A and B are shown apart, each in its own frame.
Chain A
Amino acid sequence: MSSAMKTVIGVIAVLFAGVLVWMFARGTATDRSSYSLTLREANRNKILLLTVGSEPRTLDPQAAQGVTEHHIIMAMIEGLVAPSINDQAKVVPGMADRWEHNDDYSVWMFHIGEDRKWSNGDSITAHDFVFSYKRMLTASFGAQYAENLYILKGAEEYYNGKTGNFDDVGVKAIDDHNLRIELVGPTPYLLSLVQHDSWLPINPKTILKFGNIDTRDTKWTHAGNYVANGPFIMKTWRPNDVIEVVRNPLYWDAANVKLNGINFYSIENSNTGGRAFQAGQLHKTDQVSLDKVPYYRRMHPELIRIDPYEGVYFYRINISRKVLDNPKVRLALNLAIDRDAIVKNILREDQKPATGFTPPGMGDYTPLNKITYDPERARQLLAEAGYPKGKGFPKFTIHFNTLESHRAIAEAIQQMWKEELGIDVTLENQEWKVYLDTQNSINYDISRSAWIGDFLDPVTFLSMWTAGNGNNNTHWANSKYDALIEQAARTGDPKTRLDILHRAEELFLSELPVVLVYWYTNTYLLQPSVQNWYPLVLGNHNYKYIDLKDEFERAK
């Protein structure tokens, strides 16, 4: 061997050795911190270990969009009111210690408690809320959920620049502790709404320290900078691994917070999450992979939880397509589906067959029971529409985003339509963003869809079907429907209001620009040592109530 070669090989070997030594030295030098706890230690130290799925994109409540983000933000930011321990229809005081509204629920007064503080020591005032809502409604900030605040009087005008004066918007600080909210119409569900990320307050001083009111993506959300007002404050944020929050000593109700901290792990792969749970790295997973559900239900029913969840799985129908523009055809397509079979044989997570659009659990709104499995009538309707036994029925495509369970459901529906109605459809899957593009540009025949409610009122499901709504995406429009939704928004009496919404949904179900499939459940694994984790339809757990039993129960 030449000497030059020996030198080169020697240098390379030393480099490798260096990297290896560095990595193991680093590994052992890491403090034994709370994110390396075993379950037993975590129970003793009252640190909840859970996964929320994918890595959050931001923890700025006003820029956040997803459920993952919401579940982490919930631990750190508290809204005017907060979720109760076991009933999503009830609320407990949050930043507001009391509130009142006028007779038709269109003007609300919130009294911000004197003892409410930000984690930097500042008192929380009504002005902070005004600033927060101003930031949401500042167009150049580009909050994806700005629309959520349009129920504030004058908000839409301010957002669109029709008025440049925020005083015209229906949110006012009467003084430091009194917040007056004036809405465009009666809003009996406001208390549920204000728990949504888009309605949470942020600390104005912190926002302005890191940028302007409309600067996106600043570093204020990082550990060390994050100013919170909730039960917990951020300690570390290691992207794609863990977000660690610890008890906030300045939280107004700190005495009643049971946990000392929560570690939110981002584990996207449900199989990896399941293994982490089995290995004792987690108290709770965010989901259970489809093939493991029967195993846990049979072998470890004490570890698996299946809760009702506020969501509906359905197919959008592009009603500008010939043949699909006929309501009889659309009803026939709906009646030919045996939803029970899909839920029992494919999903197996106790989902409910969707017999209406709005799922159960929406407060006093009873879900409709209109769409059932009735192949006889489906065939008859199809014949009436001019396609007896499917003769002459054009070949449409069911379009879905690439995922095993979507394919399985589509195949089942394909087969049911073939057997019951004699019609052929093809299946086409697309990558997520392409699929969204296809759906949003209404460039499909039948497209797999889902809708998860934001708050506890049927309008979160029904308002999207008004003409021109950005989430309608079916070309369906009905002026009577729009009038009913409009009328409901002007009705103060809760019961009358729900009756009007019932009429709207009945009208929607008689025209059916959708194929209903099922109402969601939320399936996850939970260690029995976790206390006070009740089923909640919105999945919004107020972490201050959660507790851990100091005992070790192993998952097998």
Chain B
Amino acid sequence: MIKIIAGRLFQLIPVLWIILTLTFFMTKIVPGGPFSAERQATPEVIAQLNAYYGLDKPVWQQYLRYLSKVVMFDFGPSYTYQSESVNEVIGRAFPISLQIGTLAFCIALVIGVTAGVIAAANKNKLLDYLPMSISMLGICLPTFVLGPILALVFGLVLKLAPVSGWYGLNYVPLHPAVMPAVTLGLFYAAYIARLTRGGMLDILNQDFIRTARAKGVPEHEIIFRHASRGGLLPVVAFLGPCFAGLISGSFVVEKVFNVPGLGQEFIKSVFNRDYPLILGTVVFFGALIVIFNLVSDVVQLLLDPRSRN
């Protein structure tokens, strides 16, 4: 087990290097530059700026220079936030996305698994169709529709949550993370519910479950004790990338509720051709995804004896 984990962590380095290299050269191919604006500065000014940020050098030199900095964990200055480094931007924005993501993850997990198990236990009955149709709705309803609806109901009508902003908005009862987290969480909950139902039904059709039923084991024990262990495997496999995705922030949800998380920094860095910030966030997300995939693999190993060999 330790060997597997160490091996996977070691793989992280080449994976991140490939991500970094591909992204670096892709940003150079995309048309448009960080300093173009509707009102163009004179060519002399643009040349000065390019020289200032080392963008006048050949691309391979820029690449080597960048790589030599990255190994020291220095991702360079942001062009958009003119007095902040990429590390500072990630450092202030990630904790916010982490809070929203964690809460969203818990919401997704609790609602998703519960709904999925209920549906599987009541196959082809009302308690199957109802949660499954709601979850279909959840998957189809984009966050940019759900978000404003929640903001309208809980922010404007019930006045329980702020409709915009993050810091210290404590004149409303709910923490500013709650509405974004619910919006995000419900979307993932719907997906998890379908995965859970599928996985559980697979297991419930197997011989050992039939044996257990024949032996007279109560239904709740069959579901929670015998079926859940195998039935939740597909969910566990999904949870790693799901968690990484949730805590890395969502552009749409962050824009709808105007919270200063990392998701919008990532998207905006692309719009602004803020090369260092693009690279910094891509590498950061890459690392998160690799790490949480590893975590979910480990949990799977523990749950499923078959995959241990």
Contacts and interface: CB of A to CB of B under 8 A. Distances in A.
Nearest to B265: A240
Interface string B34-54: 011111111111001100100
A268 B255 contact: yes
B170 A20 contact: no
Contact of B82 (A5, A9, A57, A433): A57
A20 B258 CA distance: 20
Interface in A36-52: 36-38
A201 to B, nearest CB: 19
B164 interface: yes
A242 B45 CA distance: 31
Interface stretch (A271-279, A421-429, A477-485): A271-279
Interface residues of A, number: 77
A33 B168 contact: yes
Interface stretch (B10-18, B204-212, B297-305): B297-305
A63 interface: yes
A436 B38 CA distance: 7
Contact of A440 (B36, B177, B271): B36
Interface in B195-241: 229
B267 to A, nearest CB: 11
Contacts of B152: 275
Interface string A196-216: 000000000000000000001
Interface stretch (B62-70, B96-104, B133-141, B277-285): B96-104
B45 A58 contact: no
A240 B42 contact: no
B165 A144 contact: no
A82 B80 CA distance: 29
Given A19-B99, A433-B273, A36 B302 contact: no
B226 to A, nearest CB: 12
Contacts of A37: 171
* Contact-residue bracket for chain B: 35 or more
Interface stretch (B118-126, B155-163, B182-190): B155-163
Given A8-B299, A58-B83, A159-B44, A434 B31 contact: yes
Interface string A169-191: 00000000000000000000000
Contacts of A216: 52, 82
Interface of A: 1-2, 4-5, 8-9, 12, 16, 19-20, 22-24, 27-28, 30-33, 35-38, 55, 57-58, 60, 63, 65, 139-147, 159-160, 216-222, 238-242, 265-269, 271-273, 275-276, 278-279, 281, 431-434, 436-437, 440, 450-451, 470-471, 473
21 contacts: A23-B102, A30-B167, A35-B169, A57-B81, A139-B44, A142-B48, A160-B44, A216-B52, A217-B82, A239-B84, A240-B265, A241-B259, A267-B258, A271-B256, A273-B164, A275-B155, A275-B164, A276-B163, A276-B165, A281-B164, A473-B40
